[in-house]
């Protein structure tokens, strides 16, 4: 038996062979991954995060990302058997939270600008976000989307989540911007609750290891039957 997940030409699969469970990553589109290397033809030059290459030069990088992806997949499988009480996992998510502080990469204000007390307070005070409601259809759909196993390969982006929540059909530019802004707010909500974190120097997000247990427990819950 085999289970296979695809994302942007790369695949993650699990299968049994001779009574052994095996998990493998196939990278047919290695350029979707970023590796820290010098430019082609200048091995001693400055290094930066650049697309992974298909040749043997990045073979060790492919081994590293494959090990990381399969490790995340096995951790996700282990989350199914967690015995933590559901209330203990869910209670923090059902309360308002504060967004994480902005990183130091944001440019500082001009030296000539004199901050007022209002702007200083706005810069220091974290933004408050609403509580999650796992029983609501919208929040349940959001948690289901971010926990999809193909995102264990290389994380998810705004466009990936938008495709799942709103469909893959083409829409007009104003509607596409509205959907993108809505997904940005949802990603901000999940980050504030600690369910996802951003991969440095990318636009990708991954579900944090401990949070996957909570999401898995929520998605496995027995949905109550509505009475007429």
pTM: 0.72
d(CA 189, CA 204): 15
For the chain, domain boundaries: 1-81, 84-100+128-228
Q: Which residues of the chain have pLDDT under 70?
A: 101-124, 221-228
Measured over the CA atoms of residue 144, residue 148, residue 152 and residue 155, the dihedral's sign is negative
Per-residue model confidence as pLDDT tens digits over 129-145: 999 988 888 999 999 99
33 φ/ψ angles, rounded to the nearest 5 degrees: -100, 150
**Residues facing 207 on adjacent strands:** 196
Q: Would you state the pLDDT for residue 94? A: 87
Per-residue model confidence as pLDDT tens digits over 193-227: 999 999 888 889 999 877 888 888 887 764 444 44
Cα–Cα distances in angstroms (integers) from residue 215 to residues 28, 43, 152, 188, 226, in the given order: 30, 43, 14, 17, 23
Q: Candidates 2.60.120, 1.10.150, 1.10.10, 2.60.40; correct CATH number of 84-100+128-228?
A: 1.10.10
Residue 79: DSSP 8-state: G
d(CA 154, CA 7): 8
């Amino acid at each position: 038996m085999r289970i296979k997940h695809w994302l942007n030409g790369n695949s993650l699969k699990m299968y049994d062979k001779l009574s052994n469970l095996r998990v493998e990553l196939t990278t047919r589109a290695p350029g979707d991954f970023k590796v820290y290397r010098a430019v082609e033809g200048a091995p001693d030059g400055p290094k930066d995060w650049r697309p992974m290459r298909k040749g043997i030069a990045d073979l060790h990088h492919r081994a590293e990302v494959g090990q990381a992806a399969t490790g995340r997949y096995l951790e996700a499988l282990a989350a199914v058997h967690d015995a933590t009480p559901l209330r203990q996992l869910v209670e923090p998510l059902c309360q308002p939270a504060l967004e994480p502080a902005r990183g130091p990469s944001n440019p500082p204000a001009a030296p000539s600008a004199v901050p007022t007390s209002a702007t200083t307070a706005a810069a220091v005070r974290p933004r408050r976000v609403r509580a999650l409601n796992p029983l609501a259809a919208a929040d349940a759909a959001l948690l289901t989307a971010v926990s999809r196993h193909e995102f264990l390969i290389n994380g998810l982006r705004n466009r990936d989540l938008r495709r799942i929540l709103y469909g893959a059909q083409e829409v007009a530019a104003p509607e596409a911007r509205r959907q993108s802004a809505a997904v940005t707010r949802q990603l901000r909500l999940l980050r504030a609750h600690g369910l996802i974190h951003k991969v440095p120097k990318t636009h990708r997000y991954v579900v944090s290891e401990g949070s996957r247990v909570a999401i898995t427990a929520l998605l496995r819950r027995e949905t109550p039957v509505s009475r007429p």
